[in-house]
Amino acid sequence: MVSNLSAGVQAFTCNAFLVSGERTTLVDAGANYDVVSSVRERVADLDRLVLTHPHPDHVGNLDAVTDAFDVDVWGYEGVEGVDHELVDGDELTIGDHEYTALFTPGHEPNHLCFHSERASALFGGDLVFQNGSFGRTDLAGGDRETLVESIERVADVVGEDLDVLYPGHGPSITNDPHADVELAARSARLG
């Protein structure tokens, strides 16, 4: 089961997805609200914290989560606060399914998405959003051409059978998420 702990939060934050199962996982820590209480309302313990990228809205609560649950952090190599460095193609369990880390720079140089073919799901961070929106590239380390390449790669990897895309902001996409990924690639190319 996947719950967005940031749903309804009125603060500058990202979606923080709690994935229960064999390895109860928090995907992104969020920022500027008490995510620890939100986790504790739903589960007794947390097995790991996985980061899509190190922007402040995704890691603001990192210390609070690691202190409260004594969990290790998984994320891209070289990112501060990461205990287990991931590179493109590494696999890890999120909830009950194996996910593959996809290196997807462009919005941020250390950005990862996590895809599970078996779960037919993608945790997309700030790569793509609903209705063909995509991560901004005007922040430090952003690069539009690299972002387009990352989006196109994800579109190829996930395929048309993708059931759900959990983006870093906005609603989860459950109605033909592959079409949103393809639209984001086209939109980013034009921008």
Tokens of 53: 């990228």
Find out whether 107 and 83 touch, Cβ atoms under 8 Å.
Answer: no
The CATH number linked to 178 is: 3.60.15.10
Instruction: Please write the tens of the pLDDT for every residue from 167-182.
Output: 999 999 999 999 999 9
Q: Which candidate, 69, 180, 58, places its Cα nearest to that of 128?
A: 180
Confidence at residue 139, expressed as pLDDT on a 0 to 100 scale: 92
pLDDT of residue 78: 87
Task: Dump pLDDT digits (tens) for 31-73.
Answer: 999 999 999 999 999 999 999 999 999 999 999 999 999 999 9
pTM exceeds 0.75: yes
Contact 6, 14 (CB under 8 A): yes
Mean pLDDT, residues 150-161 taken together = 94
pLDDT of res. 118: 96
Does residue 23 surpass a pLDDT of 80?
yes
Closest CA relative to residue 84, chosen from 41, 128, 131, 49: 49
**Interval 144-160 mean pLDDT:** 95
State which residues form the domain around 15.
2-190
Sheet containing 112-116: order of strands:
91-94, 97-103, 112-116, 121-125, 164-167
Mean pLDDT calculated for residue range 91-116? 98
Domain count, the chain: 1
Distance CA 155, CA 33 (A): 33
* pLDDT score of 143: 96
CA distance between the termini of the chain: 36
Task: Tell me: pLDDT of 191 over 90.
Answer: no
**pLDDT at residue 190, rounded to an integer:** 86
From the list 58, 174, 175, 158, the residue with the least C-alpha distance to 115 is 158
- Tokens coding 165: 């895309």
Mean pLDDT of the chain: 96
